[in-house]
Amino acid sequence: MSGFRNVSRGAQGLTPGCRVPLRFPLLPIFLILCATGTSAQDFAVAGARIFDGSQVIENGSVVVRDGRIAAVGKSVELPEGVEVVDGTGKTLLPGWIDCHTHSWGDALERDPVFGVTTVLDMFTEPGWAAERRKEQAEGKADGRADLFSAGFLATAPGGHGTQYGIEVPTLTAADQAEDWVAARVAEGSDYVKIIIEDGSLWGRPLPSLDEPIVRAVAAAARAHGRLAVAHVTTLAKAEVALDAGVDGLVHLFRDAEAPPEWVAEVARRKLFVVPTLTVVESTAGIASGTSLVDDPRLAPFLRSAEIANLKQSFPAGKASMEAAYATLRALDEAGVRILAGSDAPNPGTAHGASLHRELELLVEAGLAPATVLAAATATAAEVFGLDDRGKIEPGRRADLLLVEGNPLDEITATRAIVTVWKGGREIERPRVEADASRPKYGPGPLADFDDIELRKQP
């Protein structure tokens, strides 16, 4: 784990996105509640089923003041004069944290339409990310998801990540790692992403970092207080990542089922895994997003270009959903922390919407719905040190999602969105008219795989 955590405690006098040592506790709640007010709504949600990030409170209430959770529980006194939202028959959850995206254009504006209030970007242009982070710090990001980012990724010359028309600084030797990581930190990277990809899953050889370089980059990331996360698609490269000392995998490999000894070592070293099953499915030749297009709870909010991308897939490679599911179940049974990430906007995905498919696939793989909901909320916040969000508890930011029904019984109930709040402000969710103007992003230039020939579903 990193020695520092990214936090965004504006009401506590801290700049959003600043770094606070782990030993610092949250400030007393009364200081948060007495801080100067903002334009955020004061309101309450009453009579809802509350999933607070780890446990369920039936028929509970939440009070929000100045963009923060002021109170939560079964017997909360509702203040006079505040709007009360009826939660009867509904479930209140923390806003989603998508733990693997590639963001640019207006992607961050699209995310909260589908309940995603924070994204962990795994490769985008650092200058673009810095601008978004500056606006967040200035309180100018109310209508979009908050961004945390790796910026540039660590890769070999000509390796994966260099094919998107952006000049990426590469590595050829382990002794370059310290300077490379220091440069990423200076650019504002919140964590370091390492590419360990040789293209063997698709039979297309690619240059890849060797284990000494990966080990050196991971060590340099730790020295700078950053998590080191690894892109892998095969078991062999996942073994390299584990031996090199990374903190987590941001894809689950899909060419073989993990041996028990590997799973045990992952658990012993306390690694985390972001499976990105939507893209695992897409690389198996299945358009993972097709069911989202056909779902009346989501379809009215999808743009035409998003629909087209959701109905695409990669050509079928050596990916096996069965192997990925078996590995995922073993990791879960071993106590490994699983996080939810969509890897949007790769073929078969769309920003925001695809996290709902990811949750469904995690349940289909055999994980308990409560574990899956935590994977996109409290577990994600814990792993990446986002102490101000991810849970519904006093003092945390009021990033909230209200849905019809009970996703603990039927995970696709997450799609029946009633209201989304970010920092206590309600997010507008405009319906999309037929043939609306296309978004400013598509299945490139920063998708996580090569822009190869795609398969399209009718």
- What amino acid occupies position 391? K
Per-residue pLDDT, 363: 98
Domain boundaries, the chain: 95-135+150-388
Residue 264 has pLDDT above 80, yes or no: yes
Query: Given pLDDT bands bounded at 50, 70 and 90, which one contains residue 14?
Result: very low
CATH architecture of 95-135+150-388: Alpha-Beta Barrel (3.20)
Q: What pairing do the DSSP bridges indicate for beta strands 248-249 and 272-273?
A: parallel
Distance separating alpha carbons of residues 226 and 82, to the nearest angstrom: 41
Q: Is the CB of residue 372 less than 8 Å from the CB of residue 339?
A: no
Query: Given pLDDT bands bounded at 50, 70 and 90, which one contains residue 2?
Result: very low
Per-residue pLDDT, 204: 85
Residue 126 has pLDDT above 90, yes or no: yes
Per-residue pLDDT, 201: 84
Q: What average pLDDT does this structure show over 412-439?
A: 86
**pLDDT tens digits, residue range 336-366?**
999 999 999 999 999 999 999 999 999 999 9
Which two structure tokens, joined as six digits, stand for 399? 């990033």
The residue ranges of DSSP E strands in 302-454, in sequence order, are 312-313, 337-338, 400-404, 417-422, 425-426
The mean pLDDT value of the chain amounts to 88
Distance separating alpha carbons of residues 234 and 162, to the nearest angstrom: 20
Which two structure tokens, joined as six digits, stand for 439? 């978004």
Residue 29 has pLDDT above 60, yes or no: no
DSSP 105: T
Which two structure tokens, joined as six digits, stand for 50? 């509350």
Per-residue pLDDT, 56: 98
SS (H, E, C) 279-315: HHHHHCCCCCCHHHHCCCCCHHHCCHHHHHHHCEECC
Q: What is the percentage of the chain residues whose pLDDT exceeds 70?
A: 86
Q: What is the percentage of the chain residues whose pLDDT exceeds 90?
A: 81
Q: Is the CB of residue 105 less than 8 Å from the CB of residue 425?
A: no
Distance separating alpha carbons of residues 293 and 303, to the nearest angstrom: 10
Per-residue pLDDT, 317: 73
Residue 453 has pLDDT above 90, yes or no: no
Q: Is the CB of residue 379 less than 8 Å from the CB of residue 270?
A: no
Per-residue pLDDT, 443: 43
Per-residue pLDDT, 54: 96
**pLDDT tens digits, residue range 310-343?**
999 988 778 889 999 999 999 999 999 999 999 9
Q: Is the CB of residue 283 less than 8 Å from the CB of residue 347?
A: no
Per-residue pLDDT, 349: 97
Q: What average pLDDT does this structure show over 117-130?
A: 97
Distance separating alpha carbons of residues 392 and 386, to the nearest angstrom: 13
Per-residue pLDDT, 429: 97
**pLDDT tens digits, residue range 271-283?**
999 999 999 999 9
Which two structure tokens, joined as six digits, stand for 123? 């490769």
Residue 39 has pLDDT above 60, yes or no: no
Distance separating alpha carbons of residues 165 and 213, to the nearest angstrom: 24
Q: What average pLDDT does this structure show over 3-32?
A: 29
Distance separating alpha carbons of residues 98 and 90, to the nearest angstrom: 22
